[in-house]
Structure 1
Amino acid sequence: MGKFSVLVMVLAILCLLSREFACNGDTHLAGCSESDRKALIDFKNGLNDPENRLSSWRGSDCCDWRGVGCDNSTGAVIAIDLHNPHPYNSDSLSRYGFWNLSGEINPALLRLKSLRNLDLSFNTFPEIPIPEFFGSLKELRYLNLSKAGFNGVIPTNLGNLSRLQYLDVSSELFSLTVDNLQWVAGLGNLRNLAMKHVDLSMVGSDWIRVLNRLPFLTELDLSGCSLSGFVPFTGSVNFTSLSVVDLSFNSLNSKFPDWLVNITSLVSLDLGENSLHERIPLGISELPNLRYLNLEGNYNLTADCSQLFWGSWRRIEVLNLDNNRVHGKLPDSIGNMTSLVDFNMFSNNIEGGIPSSISSLCKLSNFDLAGNNLTGSLPEFLEGTKNCISRSPLPNLMFMRLSPIPASLGRLSLLRELGLGGNELNGTLPDTLGQFSKLVIFDVSNNNLMGNVSESHFSKLSNLKFLHLSSNSLVLNVSSNWVPPFQVRNLDMGSCQLGPSFPAWLTTQKEIMYLDFSNASISGAIPNWFWDLSSNLSLLNVSHNLLQGQLPNPFKVAPFADVDFSSNLLQGPIPLPAVEIELLDLSDNQFSGPIPANFGEAMPNLIFLSLSGNHIKGEIATSIGYMVALSALDLSRNNLMGSIPSSLGNCSFLKVLDLGSNNLSGVIPWSLGQLKQLQTLHLNDNKFSGDIPLSLQNCSSLETIDLGNNKLSGIIPSWIGENFAALRILRLRSNSFSGRLPSQLTNLSSLQVLDLAENNLIGSIPDSLASLKAMAKIQNVNQYLLYGNYRGRYYEESLVVSVAGQPLKYTKFLSLVTCIDLSSNNLSGEFPEAIMQLLGLMFLNLSVNHISGHIPKGIGDLSELSSLDVSNNQLSGGIPPSMSSLSFLSYLNLSNNNFSGMIPSYGQMATFAESAFSGNPFLCVFPLRINCKGGNSDTGSPAEDTDKDERGNDFIDQWFYLSVGLGFAAGILVPYVVIAIKNPWSDAYFGFVDRIIGMPLWMRNNRDIHRRNERRRR
Structure 2
Amino acid sequence: MTILTSQMTLFLFMLLSITTFHKTMCSNHTVVQCNEKDREILLNFKQGIHDTFGRISIWSEKDCCAWEGVHCDNTTERVTKLDLHLKDLKGEMSLCILELEFLSYLDLSMNHFDVISIPVTQHNITHSSSLFYLDLSFNEGPNLHMDNLDWLSPHSSLKYLILSGIDLHKESNWLQVVSTLPSLLELQLTDCKLNNFMFNSSFEYLNLSSIVILNLSLNNFTSHLPNGFFNLTKNLTYLYLHESNIHGEIPSSLLNLQILRHLDLSKNNLQGSIPDRIGQLPNIQHLDLSMNMLSGFIPSTLGNLSSLISLSIGSNNFSAEISNLTFSKHSSLVSLDMSNSNVAFQFDLDWVPPFQLSHLSLSNTNQGPNFPSWIYTQKSLQDLDLSSSGISFVDRNKFSSLVERIPNELILTNNSIAEDISNLTLNCLFLRLDHNNFTGGLPNISPMTTHVDVSFNSFSGEIPHSWKNLTDLQYIILCRNRLSGEVLVHLANLKDLRYMFLGENEFYGTIPTMMSQYLQVVILRSNQFEGNIPPQLFNLTSLFHLDLAHNKFSGSLPNSVYNLTQMNTNHVYVWRPVTFNLFTKGQEYVYQVRPERRTIDLSANSLSGEVPLELFRLVQVQTLNLSHNNLIGTIPKDIGRMKNMESLDLSSNKFYGEIPQSMSLLTFLGYLNLSYNNFDGKIPTGTQLQSFNESSYIGNPKLCGAPVTNCTTEEENPNTEKPFTQIEDEDSIRESMYLGMGIGFAVGFWGISGSLFLIRKWRHAYFRFIDGVGDKLYVTLIPKLNNFGKN
Mapped partners of 2:595, 2:706: distance in 1: 38
Deviation at 1:346, TM superposition (A): 2.6
Mapped partners of 1:236, 1:730: distance in 2: 53
Mapped partners of 1:935, 1:725: distance in 2: 46
Aligned counterpart, 2:391: 547
Q: Is the 8 A contact 1:340 1:364 kept in 2?
A: yes
Aligned: 1:521 with 2:375: no
Mapped partners of 1:365, 1:235: distance in 2: 32
Aligned: 1:712 with 2:529: yes
Aligned counterpart, 1:846: 626
Cα 1:158–1:505 shift into 2, 3 Å:
farther
Aligned counterpart, 2:21: 113
Aligned counterpart, 2:558: 742
Aligned: 1:470 with 2:314: yes
Q: What is the aligned counterpart of 1:265 among 125, 129, 139?
A: 129
One-letter amino acid of the counterpart of residue 306, structure 1? S
Cα 1:504–1:431 shift into 2, 3 Å:
farther
Cα 1:417–1:908 shift into 2, 3 Å:
same
Aligned counterpart, 1:344: 215
Deviation at 1:550, TM superposition (A): 2.0
Aligned: 1:289 with 2:156: yes
Secondary structure in structure 2 of the residue aligned to 1:279? coil
Mapped partners of 1:201, 1:734: distance in 2: 55
Mapped partners of 2:622, 2:54: distance in 1: 52
Q: Is the 8 A contact 1:305 1:330 kept in 2?
A: no
Aligned counterpart, 1:644: 463
Mapped partners of 1:884, 1:744: distance in 2: 27
Aligned counterpart, 1:862: 642
Q: How does 1:16-35 map to 2 (within 5 A)?
A: none
Deviation at 1:871, TM superposition (A): 3.0
Q: Is the 8 A contact 1:458 1:484 kept in 2?
A: no
Deviation at 1:244, TM superposition (A): 1.6
Aligned counterpart, 2:83: 223
Q: How does 1:115-194 map to 2 (within 5 A)?
A: 136-138=25-27, 158-159=30-31, 183-185=33-35
Cα 1:505–1:243 shift into 2, 3 Å:
farther
Mapped partners of 1:111, 1:628: distance in 2: 66
Q: How does 1:921-932 map to 2 (within 5 A)?
A: 921-924=701-704, 932=712
Cα 1:494–1:547 shift into 2, 3 Å:
same
Mapped partners of 1:460, 1:891: distance in 2: 60
Aligned counterpart, 1:431: 276
Mapped partners of 2:290, 2:631: distance in 1: 57
Aligned counterpart, 1:39: none
> How much is the aligned-residue C-alpha RMSD, in angstroms?
4.6
Q: How does 1:825-836 map to 2 (within 5 A)?
A: 825-829=606-610, 834=614
Cα 1:586–1:936 shift into 2, 3 Å:
same
Mapped partners of 1:451, 1:482: distance in 2: 16
Secondary structure in structure 1 of the residue aligned to 2:388? coil
Aligned: 1:449 with 2:294: yes
One-letter amino acid of the counterpart of residue 189, structure 2? D
Q: Is the 8 A contact 2:544 2:599 kept in 1?
A: no
Higher RCO (CA < 8 A, seq sep 6+): 2
One-letter amino acid of the counterpart of residue 217, structure 2? F
Deviation at 1:469, TM superposition (A): 0.1
Secondary structure in structure 2 of the residue aligned to 1:553? helix
Mapped partners of 1:234, 1:650: distance in 2: 51
Mapped partners of 1:700, 1:941: distance in 2: 44
Deviation at 1:359, TM superposition (A): 5.5
Aligned counterpart, 1:674: 493
Aligned counterpart, 1:45: none
Aligned: 1:497 with 2:358: no
Q: Is the 8 A contact 1:487 1:512 kept in 2?
A: no
One-letter amino acid of the counterpart of residue 236, structure 2? S
Cα 1:288–1:749 shift into 2, 3 Å:
closer
Q: How does 1:38-57 map to 2 (within 5 A)?
A: none
Secondary structure in structure 2 of the residue aligned to 1:432? helix
One-letter amino acid of the counterpart of residue 536, structure 2? W
Q: What is the aligned counterpart of 1:655 among 439, 463, 474?
A: 474
Cα-to-partner distance string for 1:480-535 (whole Å, 9 max, x where unaligned):
8667554451322111223365477964534554432222222332465554x423
Secondary structure in structure 2 of the residue aligned to 1:633? strand
Q: What is the aligned counterpart of 1:244 among 80, 90, 104?
A: 104
Cα-to-partner distance string for 1:377-399 (whole Å, 9 max, x where unaligned):
4xxxxxxxxxxxxxxxxxxxxxx
Aligned counterpart, 1:534: 378
Deviation at 1:361, TM superposition (A): 2.1
Secondary structure in structure 1 of the residue aligned to 2:21? coil
Aligned counterpart, 1:365: 236
Q: Is the 8 A contact 1:468 1:492 kept in 2?
A: yes
One-letter amino acid of the counterpart of residue 135, structure 2? L
Aligned counterpart, 1:305: 171
Q: What is the aligned counterpart of 1:891 among 671, 686, 690?
A: 671
Structure 1, 646-655 or 359-368: larger mean CA deviation: 359-368
Q: Is the 8 A contact 2:86 2:111 kept in 1?
A: yes
Mapped partners of 2:263, 2:615: distance in 1: 57
Unaligned stretches of 5+ residues in structure 1 = 1-32, 36-72, 79-109, 117-135, 141-156, 162-182, 189-198, 378-403, 556-573, 753-772, 787-795, 943-1018
Q: What is the aligned counterpart of 1:721 among 538, 545, 560?
A: 538
Deviation at 1:544, TM superposition (A): 1.7
Q: Considering only CA atoms, is the larger Rg found in Structure 1 or Structure 2?
A: 2
Cα 1:283–1:269 shift into 2, 3 Å:
farther
Q: What is the aligned counterpart of 2:452 among 633, 648, 658?
A: 633
Secondary structure in structure 2 of the residue aligned to 1:523? coil
Aligned counterpart, 1:320: 187
Cα 1:256–1:593 shift into 2, 3 Å:
same
Deviation at 1:546, TM superposition (A): 1.5
Aligned counterpart, 1:255: 116
One-letter amino acid of the counterpart of residue 420, structure 1? L
Q: What is the aligned counterpart of 2:549 among 733, 738, 742?
A: 733
Q: How does 1:801-840 map to 2 (within 5 A)?
A: 801-811=582-592, 813=594, 815-822=596-603, 825-829=606-610, 834=614, 837-840=617-620
Cα 1:731–1:250 shift into 2, 3 Å:
closer
Q: Is the 8 A contact 2:194 2:219 kept in 1?
A: yes
Mapped partners of 1:232, 1:34: distance in 2: 61
One-letter amino acid of the counterpart of residue 650, structure 1? N
Mapped partners of 2:328, 2:419: distance in 1: 41
Secondary structure in structure 2 of the residue aligned to 1:827? strand
Q: Is the 8 A contact 2:608 2:629 kept in 1?
A: yes
Q: What is the aligned counterpart of 1:607 among 429, 437, 458?
A: 429
Secondary structure in structure 1 of the residue aligned to 2:194? strand
Q: Is the 8 A contact 2:634 2:656 kept in 1?
A: yes
Cα 1:448–1:702 shift into 2, 3 Å:
same
One-letter amino acid of the counterpart of residue 247, structure 1? D
Mapped partners of 1:576, 1:440: distance in 2: 27
TM norm structure 1:
0.58
Q: Is the 8 A contact 2:651 2:674 kept in 1?
A: yes
Cα 1:501–1:784 shift into 2, 3 Å:
farther
Secondary structure in structure 1 of the residue aligned to 2:133? strand
Q: Is the 8 A contact 1:501 1:523 kept in 2?
A: no
Deviation at 1:588, TM superposition (A): 4.4
One-letter amino acid of the counterpart of residue 216, structure 2? M
Mapped partners of 1:701, 1:928: distance in 2: 46
Secondary structure in structure 2 of the residue aligned to 1:548? coil
Percent identity for Structure 1 against Structure 2: 23
Q: Is the 8 A contact 1:343 1:367 kept in 2?
A: yes
